[in-house]
């Protein structure tokens, strides 16, 4: 997986980089079926100029589609966790759609009296 993260106006990057690396590893577990060269993850941290608020936006490019997630929080770690949680939810839904899980749903068995 190709990962590129931009830190716009962020001074202390080291604690955030370790958290982002951990979250990228968790996300990578869901993307094992794709070729690592074809998966690209782009992220950008931004600090709101007037508030104490950080925005983290993620773009995940897969061979089967593109996914986008945004996390807003009072600190960098919370915004990263929100964005990765949203992206993870989208990846699960996207892969379920590709597998056509909706066609394989089992019908409830009827109770015979």
The closest alpha carbon to 58, from 36, 87, 90, belongs to 87
pLDDT in tens, the chain (113 residues): 899 999 887 877 888 999 999 999 999 999 999 999 999 999 999 998 898 899 999 999 999 999 999 999 999 999 999 999 999 999 999 998 888 877 776 667 767 66
80 alpha-carbon distance from chain centroid: 9
Instruction: Return d(Cα 76, Cα 53) in angstroms, integer.
Output: 8
């Amino acid at each position: 997986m190709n990962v590129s993260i931009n830190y716009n106006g962020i001074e202390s990057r080291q604690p955030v980089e370790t958290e982002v690396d951990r979250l990228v590893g968790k996300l990578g577990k869901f993307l094992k079926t794709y070729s690592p060269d074809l998966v690209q993850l782009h992220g950008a941290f931004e600090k709101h100029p007037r508030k104490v608020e950080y925005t983290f936006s993620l773009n995940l490019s897969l061979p089967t589609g593109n996914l986008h997630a945004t996390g807003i929080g009072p600190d960098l770690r919370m915004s990263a966790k929100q964005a990765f949680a949203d992206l993870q939810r989208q990846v699960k839904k996207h892969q379920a759609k590709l597998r056509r899980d909706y066609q394989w749903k089992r019908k409830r068995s009827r109770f015979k009296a």
